[in-house]
Structure 1
Amino acid sequence: MEKKRTDDSEPGPVPPLRLDRFGFLKQEPSPDGLPKGRSAFECEREERRVRKWRKMIGVGGSDWKYYLRRKPHVVKRRIRKGIPDCLRGLVWQLISGSRDLLLMNPGVYEQLVIYETSASELDIIRDISRTFPSHVFFQQRHGPGQRSLYNVLKAYSVFDRDVGYVQGMGFLAGLLLLYMSEEDAFWLLVALLKGAVHAPMEGLYQVGLPLVQQYLFQFDQLVRDQLPKLGEHFTEEMINPSMYASQWFITVFSYSFPFHLALRIWDVFLHEGVKIVFKVGLALLKYCHDDLVKLPFEKLIQALRNFPEDAMDPDTLLPMAYSIKVSRCLEDLKHQYDKKNGKNLKPSKDEKPAG
């Protein structure tokens, strides 16, 4: 008589991946074991916002420039409240100027991906698995997400051989690929690094990271001016912004911050420029100020790299950030930095007196 199998050698059904609404693997189940859905009120409110936005941008973005010229304050206010997720990719392309770049350069992306070679190809391949490793789109080795990310980064490294490829660029490209096609993501990367609307970002990735050095100098002075007690504590504990804030600028908060917060920051960043990175950084320090001023060096470093969950709530943090004025100070500090480093003094595109 044939014996029944009692071993566990046959695999059972594979449980489905538990993902959050953005496609990231969930770390822990919600207390009742079920994903928390949105209430009917929240869904209805979101639908109303989407209708407003569709009316504002028109079919395929056809009314965008007209509306922006006519009602810039309405656009700014709505962007600061958050772009509806279903329209985010299109709106990002419109506000960054990348849609125009794409239309002016037909076939260029395909040429860069298929026919050109890059000195950075091995570096890009090595780093790809480090970009959003917990997102379902990028998880599979050599899967569609990783291939798209490779293509965009390789194309940029050929398009701008002076910059080539630097690791932090993967987080920018990866974030964009979650909301648009490869070609669209490539041209938005070009718009950012070359400065289609705001000051060029390429200095964040050039040899010696010159723009990172400038931003850290400016941020350090802003902390001393606006949060003097904390600035003094940082001096006593020998803390400088390069120990905690470099990634804020290099990846625009997309590296280690909650994704829902990073998206809201990116909405504003693409419209208003890099000053939002300074504002959010200052708002975080201000929010945690009373705890940070008590901490010794090791705990301080840890706290500056791991902010508490309540500090990361966009609806708390961002209004606080919007209330902080930095533009005039940033302009003055850039002149100081240039003078200190013997550079020609030229105003940047982001230097405006308000906000």
Structure 2
Amino acid sequence: MYTDDPLPKIKLSYGNGDNSELAYLDPPIIDLTASSSSTIPEPIKANGTKDHRRRSTGQSTALSLASESSYYSSPSRISRISKSELPPLPTSETLPAAPSRTSELLVVPPSSASSHTPSTPPLPLKHPAYTASPSSKTSLVPSENEDLDSFHVRKTYAELAVTGIKGDGYAEGVERTRARIGDSRASQLNAEASVGDGTEKSQELDPREAAVLAVVDRYGFFSTPSHDRLMLLPSVPLLRSLAVVPAGPKNAPTTGAALKSLPPPQPLVKEFSRIAKWERMLRPQKPDPAGILLWSIKPTKEGKLSERTYKGIPDRWRNAAWELLLSRFTSSHTEFSNQASLTLTRLTEDYHDVLEKPSSYDIQIDLDVPRTISGHVMFKTRYGAGQRSLFHVLHCFSLRCDKCGYVQGMGPIAATLLCYFTPEQVYASLVRLHDAYGMHAIFAPGFPGLLEAIYVQERILEQMLPSVYQAFKTHMISTTSYATKWYITLFANSVPFQTQLRLWDAFLLDGEDVFIVVAVAIVWVFRDQITSAAANFETILSLLSSSFVPEDENTLLFWIEKTLNDKRIRSSMAQWRQDWKALVASGKDGDALL
């Protein structure tokens, strides 16, 4: 039979024992950041080879599937900023050579207008493209005692990882797992016609996909996520530092300023200058053995890291900065004996080791994948590259911790990370969040970390906003009723995507206290509405269950930074965490929360 070369390697094991390995073609990379026009950009070929097809003969074949890296051009790379407009990179340092590897990191060459020299380290791509992942060694067959429905899900994703889906990026796709393909001839033909030939995302852009990409925003959203309640988060209350305040006026309104639709992302007026500052602050290191370029901070710029992070990491640098922050925080919050197991290289190996192992959560993960960030172009097509990557990451992570397994809140977190990282990096990031950032306690049965965060939040409110705390008690409003989704998803879907990214910038720098302060900030802003004489259970809960759109992101982030820099507050937060652990140990935690 003839087989088009898919991006991941396929091994064909023949019945006579002979082995043959298909040649594969490095995919082109579409640089969507190079122009602000809506025309279809020319692909940059990764090599000069032509398409190879190889005839194979034999009586029977068994596919041993390679895991797929997300070679899908990330929508986070869709930008209105031309590379030629960026400040030149420093030329005093050169990029070390990457170690030889089957799968090499592909870097888009600078535009002709750039003044970069060949020895200058290139800007990091927002979503690096990889040619392939190491081939797996496990044949795709049911495991012993594996549920057949679960195996059907795993098998479907693995097979489509090889063939791809036609129209990936603009077509809806055909459902194959949540609902089986119908018995009618028409249904079967429709499903068969949607299967790709292994060349999806390795050719020039289809005009239909280009039309979709022309209308997405800079973060890849082609439609605004729907929200039942959109509420403006005004800036005026955030101009005052967190302090003890009395109740607001009794005749205050019970609701805020509702918005009919989500406004476009706020303009980043200083993005160009911040790009230049991050270029001067970071320096390239020797690439990781997995082929991923790593960065470090110049010693003379260490004092600038926190300030520049809270001002907003330029989106062009977010891939490099997030990996840097994750590595630094993990190293400083993990026992030395465990640090070797949390390196990017080791976690990449772990990802591939468990990729084809069965998970009891596969059916639930498959149910959640298509409804995770559904308005994003990367996840538009059913079983497209984005959805397959999301499934594989969550599948592997569900096998990491026996206690946590899989919970729905993991989906939005993984999907956000996939906008900037490869699947291997996303898996590594989830493990680091789990081990070093306290997310194990958030996801574990009973959500002990969630309850601890809520306890700390309530102590801050009781101390600084006693009238608000009393209003919650009077109206019998538990903090879990409105704040659970904040902590479980790290504020994904509770604020605009651009705001979420900036909150994550701070979180990856300073850790779990950040989101407690974000929760306090929301209550602080609406303290008058909560303590109004006309307020009741319904009005307060409806208000705090809204999705919040900051009037000014910089004001919000400055308030968060200032609060976290208050040593007295941070010391109290640490003490309250210990108090909660003591309550749990003594069995007195049941009555400790609102």
TM-score by length of 1: 0.81
Change (3 A) 1:102 1:63: closer
Distance, in Å, in 2 between the alignment partners of 1:157 and 1:118 is: 7
Which runs of structure 2 are paired with 1:81-120 in the superposition (5 Å)?
81-97=311-327, 101-113=343-355, 115-120=356-361
- From 531, 544, 557, give the equivalent of 1:318: 557
1:337 aligns with 2:580: yes
- From 423, 428, 431, give the equivalent of 1:187: 428
Q: Give the helix-richer structure, 1 or 2.
A: 1
Which runs of structure 2 are paired with 1:200-279 in the superposition (5 Å)?
200-279=438-517
Shift of 1:171: 1.2
In structure 2, the partner of 1:64 is 296
- The farther-off stretch of 98-107 and 319-328 is 98-107
- The farther-off stretch of 98-107 and 261-270 is 98-107
Does the Cα contact within 8 Å between 1:118 and 1:157 map onto a contact in 2? Answer: yes
In structure 2, the partner of 1:55 is 280
Which ranges of structure 2 fall in alignment gaps of 5 or more residues?
1-207, 226-262, 286-292, 332-341, 588-594
Shift of 1:240: 1.8
Match of 2:545, as an amino acid?
A: R
1:7-40 alpha-carbon deviations (Å, 9 max, x no partner): xxxxxx9995442221113449xxxxxx98998x
Change (3 A) 1:137 1:106: closer
Distance, in Å, in 1 between the alignment partners of 2:420 and 2:325 is: 14
Does the Cα contact within 8 Å between 1:19 and 1:26 map onto a contact in 2? Answer: yes
Distance, in Å, in 2 between the alignment partners of 1:109 and 1:308 is: 35
1:20 aligns with 2:217: yes
Shift of 1:308: 5.2
Shift of 1:207: 1.0
SS of the residue corresponding to residue 107 of structure 1 reads helix
Distance, in Å, in 2 between the alignment partners of 1:105 and 1:305 is: 37
Give the CA RMSD over aligned residues. Answer: 2.7
Match of 2:296, as an amino acid?
A: W
Structure whose CA Rg is larger: 2
Distance, in Å, in 1 between the alignment partners of 2:265 and 2:412 is: 28
Change (3 A) 1:62 1:101: closer
Task: Tell me the matched-pair count.
Answer: 316
Shift of 1:93: 0.9
Shift of 1:340: 1.2
Which ranges of structure 1 fall in alignment gaps of 5 or more residues?
1-12, 29-34, 345-355
Does the Cα contact within 8 Å between 2:365 and 2:395 map onto a contact in 1? Answer: yes
- The farther-off stretch of 266-275 and 324-333 is 324-333
Shift of 1:62: 5.6
Shift of 1:320: 1.7
Distance, in Å, in 2 between the alignment partners of 1:37 and 1:330 is: 33
Match of 1:53, as an amino acid?
A: W
Change (3 A) 1:159 1:14: closer
1:250-277 alpha-carbon deviations (Å, 9 max, x no partner): 1111132211111000001001001110
Distance, in Å, in 2 between the alignment partners of 1:292 and 1:312 is: 20
Change (3 A) 1:118 1:15: closer
Change (3 A) 1:48 1:203: same
Shift of 1:177: 0.3
Distance, in Å, in 2 between the alignment partners of 1:341 and 1:264 is: 33
Distance, in Å, in 2 between the alignment partners of 1:201 and 1:37 is: 29
1:48-79 alpha-carbon deviations (Å, 9 max, x no partner): 21121122111366651553xx5433100000
Which gives a bigger RCO, structure 1 or 2 (Cα 8 Å, sep 6+)? 2
Change (3 A) 1:90 1:16: same
In structure 1, the partner of 2:80 is none
Distance, in Å, in 1 between the alignment partners of 2:450 and 2:551 is: 23
TM-score by length of 2: 0.50
In structure 2, the partner of 1:150 is 391
- Report percent identity of matched pairs: 28
SS of the residue corresponding to residue 256 of structure 1 reads coil
Distance, in Å, in 1 between the alignment partners of 2:501 and 2:354 is: 28
